[in-house]
Amino acid sequence: MNKNTDDIFLLSGKDAQAEGQPTKDGFVVYAGAIARKEIVPSGADSVTPVRTRLLSEGMLEDDGERLRFTKDYTFDSPKMCSRSHDAEHYDDLCVTSGP
């Protein structure tokens, strides 16, 4: 996917770092994004199934300490994107980073 630098958002949290942007299909997270490995109990029901699927599809790679996106991936919403990355502070998602 081509990045439109005017609309790139950043997620930065404990052991998580990602860039992405909204699209007509949802919210795309770019390859290389780092997701926190630990999931807090309050997010387990919604995050665990998504992570399990992404790991089995090879979209996420476990490097031992954290998870890394191997390809761009489109989530249905920014909220699910941030839950999957930070697994704790998902309401803090996406501080705009533009030129």
Six token digits for residue 65: 């300490």
pTM, two decimals, is: 0.72
What DSSP line would sit under 46-87, residue for residue?
HHHHHHHHHHHTTSEEE-SSSEEESS-EEESSHHHHHHHHHS
Q: Which of 36, 34, 5, 41 is nearest to 17 (CA)?
A: 34
Q: Tens digit of pLDDT per residue, the chain (99 long)?
A: 566 666 788 888 778 888 888 888 888 889 999 988 887 787 778 788 888 999 999 999 998 988 999 999 998 865 555 444 444 444 333 333 333
pLDDT, residue 95, reads: 35
pLDDT, residue 35, reads: 87
Q: Which residues pair with 21 in a beta bridge?
A: 28
Give CA 34 to chain center in angstroms.
7
Rg (CA), the chain: 12
Q: Which residues pair with 74 in a beta bridge?
A: 28
